[in-house]
Amino acid sequence: MFICGIGLSAVLPAQAHLISEVEEFVNSGAAPAERMIRDVIDCEHSYINTDHPSFIGGSRAIAQVCGQLSSSMTGHTCVLLV
User: Residue 7: how many CB atoms within 10 A of its CB?
Assistant: 10
- Considering the chain, what is the average pLDDT of its residues? 81
What is the per-residue pLDDT across 3-40, written as a single tens digit (0 to 9) for each? 566 666 777 888 889 999 999 999 999 999 999 999 99
For residue 6, which amino acid is it? Answer: I
In a domain, 45, yes or no: yes
Q: In 10 A of CB 20, how many CB atoms?
A: 10
Q: How many domains does the chain divide into?
A: 1
Which is higher by pLDDT, 10 or 81? Answer: 10
Please report, as a single letter, which amino acid is at residue 7: G
Closest residue by Cα to residue 82 from 56, 59, 55, 57: 59
Q: Is position 78 within any domain?
A: no
Residue 82 inside a domain? The answer is no
For residue 80, give the amino acid letter.
Answer: L
Q: Give the domain range for residue 37.
A: 2-72
Amino acid of residue 35: R
